[in-house]
Amino acid sequence: MVTPTTLGPGEARTRLHELTVIDVRTPGEYAGGHLPGARNIPLDHIQRALPDIRHAADRGDVLVVCASGARSENACRILAENGIATATLSGGTGAWAADGHDLHRPQGATRATWGMERQVRLTAGAFVLLGLLLGLLVHPAFQILSAGIAAGLVYSALTNTCGMAAMLAKLPHNRPRAAELDHTLARLRDR
């Protein structure tokens, strides 16, 4: 198994012309701003894209990015288990933008998009409030819902994974259109 490496935003910026950049965020997050030249392959589609990513890696170095680095680390681990050498961007697109580097947006992307972290915060907060309200108005046992969400958030922090984000990624607004993903994979093959 190969070991993924980490590039800082400055090093990634100087090498951007020679890297194949794969953004593993949802299409909505990608549309909100991504590294120049990045291809969008959401994390849950990495397995499907393995042959095309392997093809790109055979031709040059691959950099995997996400919002903060957690999803790209997961993607790099999956790719490493399949013998594909990759690097991840330390701190993700957040660190990239904080260093003053430009983020590109697709033409015609006018709809405001929420990042996955914001979607998770809204959903978790709504379920906690729902559990508390139902516990006050209907039956105290409904507070178990709030406790369950709290336990899930603690587990998420300890393991650096997020089951709620995985579930939210399956919603239609977070899914790539089949034609868009096919086009992205074809671009990787042609690289």
Helix, strand, coil distribution of the chain in percent, nearest 5: 60, 10, 30
Q: Is 66 a catalytic residue?
A: yes
What distance in Å separates the CA atoms of residue 79 and residue 130, rounded to the nearest whole number?
A: 39
Residue type, 142: F
| Residues written for the chain | 191
Tokens of 157: 């922090």
With the CA atoms of 10, 77, 160 and 44 taken in that order, what torsion angle do they form, in degrees rounded to the nearest 10?
100
In this structure, is the dihedral angle defined by the CA atoms of residues 61, 25, 152 and 158, taken in order, positive or negative?
Answer: positive
Task: Give the active site residue among 43, 53, 62, 66.
Answer: 66
What distance in Å separates the CA atoms of residue 69 and residue 92, rounded to the nearest whole number?
A: 5
So which residues are the catalytic ones? Answer: 66
